[in-house]
A and B are shown apart, each in its own frame.
Chain A
Amino acid sequence: PFLQSTGLVGLAVSENPHERLRILYTKILGVLQNIPKDAAYRKYTEQIVNERFSLVQNETDVQKLQDKLNSGQIEEVIVQAENELSLARKMIQWKPWEPLVEEPPADQWRWPI
Chain B
Amino acid sequence: TVRPKNEVEQKQLCAFGEYVAEILPKYIQQVQVTCFNELELLIHPDGIIPVLTFLRDHTNAQFKSLADLTAVDVPSRQYRFEIVYNLLSLRFNSRIRVKTYTDELTPLDSAVSVHKAANWYEREVWDMYGVFFANHPDLRRILTDYGFEGHPFRKDFPLSGYVEV
Contacts and interface: CB of A to CB of B under 8 A. Distances in A.
Contact of A101 (B19, B27, B58): B27
A96 B23 contact: yes
B59 A109 contact: no
B144 interface: no
A29 to B, nearest CB: 14
Interface stretch (A14-22, A40-48, A58-66): A40-48
A97 B46 CA distance: 14
Contacts of A7: none
Contacts of B30: 104, 109
B106 interface: no
A95 B57 contact: no
B57 A103 contact: no
Contacts of A84: 57-59
11 contacts: A41-B23, A44-B19, A71-B91, A87-B53, A91-B54, A96-B23, A104-B42, A104-B44, A104-B79, A108-B78, A113-B74
Nearest to A104: B29
A96 B56 contact: no
Given A44-B19, A72-B91, A107-B77, A83 B29 contact: no
B154 to A, nearest CB: 16
B37 interface: no
B134 interface: no
B12 interface: no
